[in-house]
Chain A
Amino acid sequence: MVGEMIAKGKNASELFPAVVKNVASKNIEIKKLVYVYLVRYAEEQQDLALLSISTFQRALKDPNQLIRASALRVLSSIRVPIIVPIMMLAIKEASADLSPYVRKNAAHAIQKLYSLDPEQKEMLIEIIEKLLKDKSTLVAGSVVMAFEEVCPDRIDLIHKNYRKLCNLLVDVEEWGQVVIIHMLTRYARTQFVSPWRQGDVLEDNEKDFYDSDEEQKEKADKRKRPYAMDPDHRLLIRNTKPLLQSRNAAVVMAVAQLYWHIAPKSEAGIISKSLVRLLRSNREVQYIVLQNIATMSIQRKGMFEPYLKSFYVRSTDATMIKILKLEILTNLANEANISTLLREFQTYVKSQDKQFAAATIQTIGRCATSITEVSDTCLNGLVCLLSNRDEIVVAESVVVIKKLLQMQPMQHGEIIKHMAKLLDSITVPVARASILWLIGENCERVPKIAPDVLRKTAKSFTSEDDLVKLQILNLGAKLYLTNSKQTKLLTQYILNLGKYDQNYDIRDRTRFIRQLIVPNEKSGALSKYAKKIFLAQKPAPLLESPFKDRDHFQLGTLSHTLNTKATGYLELSNWPEVAPDPSVRNVEVIELAKEWTPAGKAKKENPDKKFYSESEEEEDSSESSSDSESESGSESGEDEEDDRSGDSAEDSGESGSEPEAGKGRAATRSRARGRGDSKDVDKEKENSKTSESSSGESSSIEESSSDSESESESESESESRKVTKEKEKKTKQERNPLTKDVSLLDLDDFNLVSTPVALPTPALSPSLIADLEGLNLSATSSVISVSTPVFVPGKTHVLLHRMSGKGLAAHYFFPRQPCIFGDKMVSVQITLNNTTDQKIENIHVGGKKLPMGMQMHVFNPIESLEPAGSITVSMGIDFCDSTQTASFQLCTKDDCFSVNIQPPVGELLLPVAMSEKDFKKEQGMLSGMNETSTTIIAAPQNFASSVILQKIVNVANVGVVPSGQDNIHRFAAKTVHSGSLMLVTVELKEGSTAQLIINTEKTVIGSVLLRELKPVLSQG
């Protein structure tokens, strides 16, 4: 009926008088609907609405609390200014009501009245002050909400209630919790000194601090910090912790922001786990949580690093979620995980979701700038993407490459040429503009191409996008200045076109450029500097996270989400230099001493002891007592005494006032009566229960006061010691399997990247070497098992010819065995021959000339070499996985000879044994940028498996992977220095062709190896 019309937004106001008459109806449903109607239209029909007021005033005195409450609700919802005094009166009365439910409604009514008539503020603050003292969990949330709305700056009202709010927090309903936590965060920032010390910054880099809270606490205690946290500050942090396990995402987020803003940095780590959990819920929740994580991850990377994989994108995610996840992944990227991430990004680039693919490319660009180690890899990868079929991907890559090249003013002529070619095919304006800009900037490096590009674009000038036109003009101007011979006419043609362009921007630019570069009689001093103006060094753009500037907003707020200040946003103040007087929070000084000196100690040892607050337990006891009498006594005696003892001291401190206790006694009496006539269910039980709960705490005081204080304390202490012991045991148990698991996991996923690669089992090495290696082997667990070389070519290389060595000849060869001097070195055996007829004395290695990073372990000096004698010594050289030459001097007693060793790429490897399955798995991970391949044509007899095997192992030190198929040969190795996998696949095709594929992270070596293998395989 009418209700439906309201719901649909139709105007039903003409029915007002008829409906309002029903306000006195007996039927509750109709009554409620009338209320709904009244609240909706009262503002428009104020006079008529007044008719109903008297009904509510009567109802406010009703004995039923439900009716009192709902009358207050409706009365305060009627937005008619005339009744403000009536409302004020009603709120005042209700705030002193016995029923907490009515008081709760009074708190709600305060906000309504305030929004109707802000002039009542002072009066309302008084009521808020009164209600803040209320001990019911029901009221707390609502009154804090009213406080936030009416007088958020009156922080002084909170002082006295601070501890009570902290203690009640767990039991407040979830919506109230959110509001209270936000308020307390602001409060803490004004009242306590900062717990963040310089030392904490360092701690952020430590990885172990999120292992478990217990450990953390122990650690924190051990450290005996010079900074002593205010016990009230600690109380807040401790009491909010259990709320991290709330089912309500808003509560979890509120606690997370509280920890972020006020907890010591070492303790904030525990929130990451809960936040990651929230990522499982609805799309909208994910969105907000990810935004907050993005902000956090910029400042404290360490917090979320262990959860890196939780941020991997799923293809079912909405685009906005994907982009946020990408953002977080970028923030978390560092040297250790970048290769895993890049591999992940490769998959993302292929996504169907174009917007997401484009964002990924930008991300790769950002990684390239932030982590210099991979910038070359990234750049190569991006260049590969230029040949992608999808235009958006190509365009985005062009834009990112442009930014990267701008940042690294190195020679990248090849890339620029490649991009110039792309200009013919790309149509996306931004990309075209980027290419033109790039050519213009580097026009002196590509002197032949630039004018040609200008010629082409001049032809299509009229049909280009405005953005592109501007860049064509720029390019023309730059070329005119550097290469005016070739481009003078072209540029003038373009300037003429620009002069008559429709867009005023382009016309302006044309005029500007013409005046600046084309010499004429009027040209002023500026044109002399034209070259400087156009070809100045431009500062590189900074690729930064869009979440960088969000941290000044309190996390979890609307303002943070929108990144603008929302109305009503309350700034989080900075920590005070000196804490304001903490005693303002004392309720009564004498009780306080009791509360904090003895109990405080016990609490520190056992921080999690008293989270479940006492009122709940009491409820249990009272509940059970109403069920069965005999049980109640024993239960409360055994179970709860211990738990409560710590708290009861506190309680008595807080609420030891006389009238309250009296009420408690009354409650027990009424309870007893209720039990007596158990069949008489309805009203009596109802009443007794309400009074019970309202004075639930005070009844506890009675019980606890009967215990002697000292007894309860000692009990709690012994209890706490027991628990801490248990916990220690537990954490110890937990720690062991944990570490084991981590390493297992690593095996699965990271074996390419970060795990220490095991030392190989020696096969050919001399016994002495074997002994040495045995020692090493035990130290690390084997990950990729290095196998023995399949074949050791006897080919030696000349190090020093006897003619140039004055009779001393030296040859070297690669024994292909693991080097004993260091696991990153390639072992080299040098055979020295004395071809003279005299002794050569003191042969040793002199000065070394090694490229950066390269290391060499020399042989011990040889005292003397008999005539016609020869001796073999071994050396170790760490070539850093490159084919650079190691130059050193071979000296004798009299002379010095400069010699070089340049390793063939195949010797920079160690063979690896793996199964076909593993091989495929690894190969799968090393696709895209990490794959190089070529086609080989050769006579069929060359493709016999034994021939291929022989040829390949001759060139490179690789291990053979057993293959299930006849036409595919697989070889695996790892590089000596970095331990990166090198996977070689020879796939025989029909006819006399074969496909040679190399997968490796070390793309440089991969391609060199490919180049070396190709001729070998194709030769007869």
Chain B
Amino acid sequence: MIHSLFLINCSGDIFLEKHWKSVVSQSVCDYFFEAQEKAADVENVPPVISTPHHYLISIYRDKLFFVSVIQTEVPPLFVIEFLHRVADTFQDYFGECSEAAIKDNVVIVYELLEEMLDNGFPLATESNILKELIKPPTILRSVVNSITGSSNVGDTLPTGQLSNIPWRRAGVKYTNNEAYFDVVEEIDAIIDKSGSTVFAEIQGVIDACIKLSGMPDLSLSFMNPRLLDDVSFHPCIRFKRWESERVLSFIPPDGNFRLISYRVSSQNLVAIPVYVKHSISFKENSSCGRFDITIGPKQNMGKTIEGITVTVHMPKVVLNMNLTPTQGSYTFDPVTKVQSPKIRSEQVFLQSSFCDLGTWEDRGKGLISWLKLKLLTT
């Protein structure tokens, strides 16, 4: 299975390596760099690269490449999914998955990688178990440790690993027992240049933050569960109850986790709560143009829309823009999206808060590629 792991930053330095079997030389990454060079854009580095003796499977997360070395046949998704899980764990432990954070906590990173894989086969990937094995770093704990000489490593085997509920750790105690659920829905829509919807579907997730003592057994029911078209579950959910009663019944992990994600497909009509209009015009005989975009709430929704964030990705040929929004504030980042003077555009920030997010895609005249709206409905 997974032989070795290399962490590579954007400038091409290998700053961490870990081997689970025999040692593989760093030079294997040269093949990766070669592919990276060929791809021009980091997004286009192929996830699977074949080299004479090894196969490299990589993911790109938070400006870092996680490159794993494989020697024999293995489902590539297996490795990709695992690497993402590693990145998630780092994020969970250090708050961010950046080069600096990993370098600062290199010992913990090493211990984590050691626990997560044994001989290249995933061993413990549940964050609840890992946190029991290796305590996440906090300022208080590091002070205490340096005085008392105790360590971050727990000395008992996490009970979760042995039970059939590997996701929950034992002996959780809270004075305030609380459970929070965030329902986040995104609408993906492709709107053609005349403003009509070509394709729309809703992607939703329920993220939970559970702070309950003991072994709580929760159930969550929906008003209209039939709307949920395609659902994927956290392993804690009892599949059978869902099949028979459409009730989510589960013993939750402790802390933050994603309970379910679901899709409401285009079979059900997806109403988009706002309308988007745009117009593009080019000045003749000059390289400038004008781009207007209008966004407003649709009348029939009966809900107020609170925070709208519009993100417009300009094509790379655009060099500079002057923005004049009618409301709110705006920013323009010339590094990521601009290269030659062509278009004037506007970006509107009203407020960003989260609960309901919407994502729109618009395919205007090829120049405007897409825009993203964030908004809050109540």
Interface residues of A (CB under 8 A from B): 3-4, 6-9, 27-30, 32-33, 35-36, 40, 43, 64-66, 69, 73, 76-77, 79, 99-101, 105, 108-109, 111-112, 115, 137-138, 142, 145, 170-171, 173-175, 178, 182, 242, 245-250, 252-254, 273-274, 276-277, 280, 282-285, 287-289, 309-310, 312, 314-316, 318-320, 347, 350-352, 556-559, 561-562, 564, 566-570, 608-612, 615-616, 619-620, 623-624, 627, 643, 681, 686, 689-690, 693, 696, 723, 730, 733-734, 738, 741-742, 744-745, 748-749, 920-921, 923-925
Contacts and interface: CB of A to CB of B under 8 A. Distances in A.
25 contacts: A9-B17, A28-B151, A29-B111, A43-B22, A66-B155, A66-B157, A174-B235, A245-B232, A245-B239, A246-B235, A284-B84, A315-B363, A316-B361, A318-B43, A320-B46, A564-B50, A568-B72, A616-B164, A689-B163, A693-B162, A730-B226, A734-B226, A741-B267, A749-B198, A924-B193
Given A4-B106, A175-B121, A245-B233, A738 B240 contact: no
A109 B1 CA distance: 14
A559 B1 CA distance: 14
B118 A350 contact: no
Interface in B255-295: 258, 261, 263, 266-269
Given A108-B121, A309-B199, A742 B267 contact: yes
A277 B230 contact: yes
A924 B267 contact: no
A32 B153 contact: yes
Contacts of B48: 288, 558, 561-562
A285 B367 CA distance: 28
B244 interface: yes
B151 A36 contact: no
A249 B370 contact: no
Contact of A612 (B109, B123, B239, B315): B239
Contact of A627 (B1, B43, B215): B215
B163 A558 contact: no
Interface stretch (B75-83, B90-98, B320-328, B350-358): B75-83
Contacts of A620: 217, 251
Nearest to B54: A567
B44 A319 contact: yes
B363 A285 contact: no
B63 interface: no
A723 B214 CA distance: 34
A8 B16 contact: yes
A101 B18 CA distance: 24
A115 B72 CA distance: 12
Given A285-B81, A561-B48, A567 B118 contact: no
Interface in B305-339: 313, 315-317
B70 interface: yes
A73 B192 CA distance: 58
A556 B48 CA distance: 13
B41 A315 contact: no
B87 to A, nearest CB: 10
B102 to A, nearest CB: 9
Interface string B38-55: 000101101110100001
A544 B201 CA distance: 32
A619 to B, nearest CB: 4
Interface in B135-180: 149, 151-157, 159, 161-166, 171
A242 B231 CA distance: 11
B162 A9 contact: no
B199 A27 contact: no
A318 B365 contact: no
Contact of A28 (B155, B235, B366): B155
A567 B73 contact: yes
A693 B163 contact: yes
B159 A689 contact: yes
Contacts of B156: 64, 66, 686
A351 B366 contact: yes
B164 A615 contact: yes
B232 A352 contact: no
B19 interface: yes
A544 B346 CA distance: 44
Contacts of B72: 566-568
Contacts, number: 295
Given A178-B75, A312-B190, A612-B240, A112 B119 contact: yes
B194 interface: yes
B252 to A, nearest CB: 13
A288 B77 contact: yes
A318 B55 contact: no
Contacts of A276: 230
Given A175-B125, A312-B198, A250 B81 contact: yes
B9 interface: no
A723 B166 CA distance: 31
How extensive is the interface on chain B, given as a class?
Answer: 35 or more
Contacts of B181: none
Given A100-B162, A558-B74, A175 B365 contact: no
B18 A619 contact: no
A730 B245 CA distance: 11
A569 B73 contact: yes
A306 to B, nearest CB: 8
Contacts of B31: none
A923 B58 CA distance: 45
B234 interface: yes
Given A246-B233, A561-B76, A314 B190 contact: yes
B115 to A, nearest CB: 9
B110 interface: yes
Given A77-B119, A171-B164, A610-B240, 4 more contacts: A100-B162, A314-B190, A316-B313, A748-B196
A108 B123 CA distance: 10
Given A7-B110, A351-B366, A623 B215 contact: yes
Given A32-B114, A248-B81, A316-B369, A558 B73 contact: yes
The 7 closest A-B pairs by CB, nearest first: A924-B194, A612-B240, A29-B151, A568-B72, A350-B366, A66-B157, A315-B369
B151 A242 contact: no
B238 interface: yes
B349 interface: no
A3 B239 contact: no
A100 to B, nearest CB: 7
A285 to B, nearest CB: 6
Interface in B1-44: 1, 14-19, 21-23, 26, 41, 43-44
Given A175-B78, A558-B55, A561-B76, A283 B60 contact: yes
Contacts of A171: 164
B241 interface: yes
B71 A567 contact: yes
A27 B145 CA distance: 12
Contact of A689 (B75, B162, B229, B233): B162
Contacts of A314: 190, 361, 370
A288 B153 contact: no
A4 B107 contact: yes
B166 A173 contact: yes
B59 interface: yes
Nearest to A923: B194
A616 B119 CA distance: 28
Contact of B47 (A101, A109, A178, A284): A284
Nearest to A744: B269
Nearest to B365: A350
Contacts of B23: 40, 43
A612 B234 contact: no
B198 A309 contact: yes
A371 B215 CA distance: 61
A723 B366 CA distance: 52
A250 B12 CA distance: 29
A283 B80 CA distance: 10
Contact of A277 (B58, B80, B232): B232
Contact of B55 (A79, A316, A566): A566
Nearest to A248: B81
